Structure 1
Amino acid sequence: MILNSAAPTREVAESAIPVPMRFTLLCLAALTIMSGATIAPSLPALEAHFAQHEDIALLSRLILSLPALMIALFAPIAGFISDRYGRRKLLLLAVTVYALAGISALLQESLVGLLASRILLGIAVAGTMTSVTALVGDYFSPIQRQTYMSQQGAFISLGGVVFLLTGGLLADLHWRAPFAIYAVALLLIPAVLRFLPEPKRNSIEPLPNNVTNGNPDWPAFALLLGAALLNSLIFFLIPTQLPFLLKEIGADTPSLAGIAIAASNLMGALASLVFYPLARNYLGKSGVFVLGFTVMACGMGLIAEADSFNAIIMATAIYGCGMGTLIPHIFATGLESATPNIRGRISGALAASVFIGQFISPFISQPWIERFGLASGFSAASTTLLLLASLALLLHWLKPKPSAKMFLQ
């Protein structure tokens, strides 16, 4: 593939990737977790403020998860636009809308207005996430991409720590205050203009080993999308339900919720940098799925049994180790299947699967929790993760056909 003179070629060494380009991509990727993590500690106070609304328990969770629906709906469209009209134009528009929609919630007096601002934010995240993921595929070689994805996973997790802690401290002042953090996105527009050139894509780039006639193995890719969906569905229990579990055990300060969720992100950063490369090298692709789902199951099970803030911290940290190992693996594996002409659409499909899971999470978890309790919800999540680990192990034993080994071995 040929890029313009400001961008790296596929053949350059890892060290030749410009640091400003890499750092800009990492910061843009962190906007994804910022969209939800920033306001998670505010949910109990937000629910109390709008207590007069019917079904506010569910609606307050939708404040966090509604952007996920928009991402799921618009990421495939964003992928098509990215492939058809270019990555950078879409990225610049998406980042601008992201900032404006995010901070507009500061001015909303009604729950409807607040939900509308979250819809716009979700559309913006769809464009941002899809174009950034596609650019990673364009700029980096497969080996460079694996290294970058571990760095991105760590950066997103560390960003989650910063945004959660900051959001928690601001939520102690007022539940609206964390929405101001979204203005940070405006600072990235000059960096996009300066450091992220539009790649020139052509048809001479060699096809990945698992790609035939320019198309990946779609059944295997569908399995990957299913894993991404279920993983995000379960993950979203932490930002949407953990603040209420903490309140139930007496730790009801918003900043404590931020700290508890941040513990998961902090360990996720360590796992992305250290555990993921080791797991991929020694366990293989399917082994990373087995390990990631198993460790997350342990974390969720410990959350269900926790009766103190310290126990919650330990449990979320363990969960974060599994999450930080699995998330970069999902995206690196998906990009390995994509040729330049469909890279945007592959990125959009991955983003859609992740955020469909996040959106439907409250609709599945809230009725269960209202009937059986918060602890039971986390326990059920633990059981589901163990089933996913067992399925990954079974698929490995079944020795799938060579094209599917891209995803499973």
Structure 2
Amino acid sequence: MTESTRLRGTLWIILASATLTVMAGAILGPIVPAIQSTLGVSESNAGLIITTHGALIVVFSPIAGALIDRFGPRRPFIGGLVLYGIGGGAGLGIDSFGPLLASRAVLGVGVAFVYTGVTVLIYDLYEGQRMNEVLGLRSSANSVGAVIWPLVGGALGTLSWQAPFGVYLVAIPLGLLAVVTIPETGGENRSAQSESTDRGQSTDRSTSAGGIAGIAAVFRERPALLAVYLLYFAANALLYSIVVFYPQLLAQLGITSSLSISLYLAANGLAGGISAALYGRLVARIERRWLVLIALGLWVAAFAAATAAQSALTAVPAVVAFGLGLGLVFPSAFGWIESLAPVDRQGQFSSYLASAGYTGQFLSPVIFGPLIPLFGVRGVFGAATAAAAVGLVVLGAALAVGKTGSTASS
């Protein structure tokens, strides 16, 4: 597909919007203590300001996916940007906990539409190797956002606790630019395409049925979809094991300043941004499944290094290795959904990926937190090492069996 000047402008809007999904919570991290003291709420309630939008994303992503499949991604995506700007920017003028929490719920609905809209726009606008490159750039943009937005939030937080909320308003001019640059795609055209060819998959009519029966039929015919969702859930759960618990490990090593801790987390994001930016070139030479196997190997090494870290210097390789793996796994997951999901239901099945990811983020402290009283914070990373190792063995065995089967049949 030849990329016109307009389509290049569209790509910049897509990538800028991709960073917003990370910004939704990250930009407020540095000001949680200020929110707590100013509004007179508990630490857990202050934390809800960051996490509430995630719960709404899990709930509303399937709704966003259904609307995108019916009307195409353009209008839901633009509407999501507007909701994002309104819900996020409302914090500029709110000075009580209840209304602020409600505004964060509106933000979460907006993120659900933006997140899934970005995914399906990439599926619709790009093909083949170029799509893989853009999926990598999308993940790289997420990683860059994870580095930049917390620094922006911390800087604005020195002016007032409400100042960082103003950054959310950037979504509104992005929405206006999207009106001009984002073309109409999908919708009825995707449905018609699905009738003639369903990405080379079986044309079983049951996969086109609606409701629970239709979803179950797709999973029966394409069980690899469940493996992709599990991978994405696990990747996000492991990511948040670092976000939540690595600062505690660093504190044991005598690293306690917020700036120093942010540099370690920034190194994680930067490493992921680099590998994701190279993803298009890598996947042209190495199949996705092998890239994911490499990523799992990096994760085993990363968490083992975290478990054994004894100094500020030896704590660096863990976050770098995990980030490098993450930059390979995220675009691979999106690429697999594009190839596995029915063409006329890509919005629906890509929305489940968003739900799986944010569920993993939410449950990460629930999964790993109980290990701290028993084994200390290093026990968290020991368990993460074991989880990554299990994934490495399972995928490695599956690839070995597949290779043996193909050799025997040749």
Equivalents in 1 of 2:296, 2:375: separation in Å? 24
Q: Which residue does 2:137 correspond to in 1? A: 151
Q: Which residue does 1:240 correspond to in 2? A: 244
Equivalents in 2 of 1:46, 1:309: separation in Å? 30
Equivalents in 2 of 1:266, 1:387: separation in Å? 26
Distance 1:161 1:373, change over 3 A: same
Q: Structure 1 length normalisation: TM-score?
A: 0.84
Distance 1:331 1:155, change over 3 A: same
Moved more, 152-161 or 222-231: 152-161
- For 1:257-308, what per-residue CA distance to the aligned partner results, in whole angstroms no more than 9, with x for missing partners? 332211111111110122x345534442321221112212322332333344
Distance 1:339 1:140, change over 3 A: farther
Equivalents in 1 of 2:193, 2:276: separation in Å? 32
For the 8 Å contact 1:168–1:257, the answer to whether it is kept is: no
Paired residues, what number? 388
For the 8 Å contact 2:193–2:344, the answer to whether it is kept is: no
Equivalents in 2 of 1:176, 1:246: separation in Å? 29
Q: Which residue does 2:23 correspond to in 1? A: 34
Distance 1:108 1:250, change over 3 A: farther
Equivalents in 2 of 1:253, 1:174: separation in Å? 21
AA at the equivalent of 1:218: R
Q: Which residue does 1:209 correspond to in 2? A: 200
Q: Which residue does 1:398 correspond to in 2? A: 401
Q: Which residue does 1:183 correspond to in 2? A: 169
Task: In structure 1, list runs of 5 or more residues that go unmatched.
Answer: 1-11
Q: Which residue does 1:225 correspond to in 2? A: 229
Q: In the alignment, is residue 197 of structure 1 matched against residue 183 of structure 2? A: yes
Moved more, 167-176 or 77-86: 167-176
For the 8 Å contact 1:279–1:287, the answer to whether it is kept is: no
Distance 1:304 1:395, change over 3 A: same
Which of residues 107, 112, 136 in structure 2 aligns to 1:121?
107
- For 1:28-57, what per-residue CA distance to the aligned partner results, in whole angstroms no more than 9, with x for missing partners? 11111111322334456656778963xx4x
Secondary structure of the corresponding residue to residue 287 of structure 2: helix
Q: Using the TM superposition, give the Cα deviation of residue 155 of structure 1 relative to its aligned residue in structure 2, in angstroms.
A: 1.9
For the 8 Å contact 1:172–1:255, the answer to whether it is kept is: no
For the 8 Å contact 2:89–2:168, the answer to whether it is kept is: yes
For the 8 Å contact 2:130–2:280, the answer to whether it is kept is: no
Distance 1:45 1:294, change over 3 A: farther
Identity within the alignment, %: 26
Q: Which residue does 1:351 correspond to in 2? A: 354
Moved more, 384-393 or 116-125: 116-125
For the 8 Å contact 1:165–1:262, the answer to whether it is kept is: no
Secondary structure of the corresponding residue to residue 370 of structure 2: helix
Equivalents in 1 of 2:100, 2:304: separation in Å? 34
Q: In the alignment, is residue 363 of structure 1 matched against residue 366 of structure 2? A: yes
Moved more, 157-166 or 260-269: 157-166
- For 1:107-154, what per-residue CA distance to the aligned partner results, in whole angstroms no more than 9, with x for missing partners? 554554444333222221111111121111111113321111112122
- For 1:132-183, what per-residue CA distance to the aligned partner results, in whole angstroms no more than 9, with x for missing partners? 2111111111332111111212222122221133234445666554333222
Q: Which residue does 1:25 correspond to in 2? A: 14
Equivalents in 2 of 1:103, 1:401: separation in Å? 56
Secondary structure of the corresponding residue to residue 200 of structure 2: coil
**Where in structure 2 are the equivalents of 1:245-394 lying within 5 Å?**
245-274=249-278, 276-277=279-280, 279-394=282-397
Equivalents in 2 of 1:355, 1:295: separation in Å? 22
For the 8 Å contact 1:88–1:131, the answer to whether it is kept is: yes
RMSD of aligned C-alpha atoms?
3.0
- For 1:171-219, what per-residue CA distance to the aligned partner results, in whole angstroms no more than 9, with x for missing partners? 5666554333222222311211110022152423643234544756431
Distance 1:62 1:158, change over 3 A: same
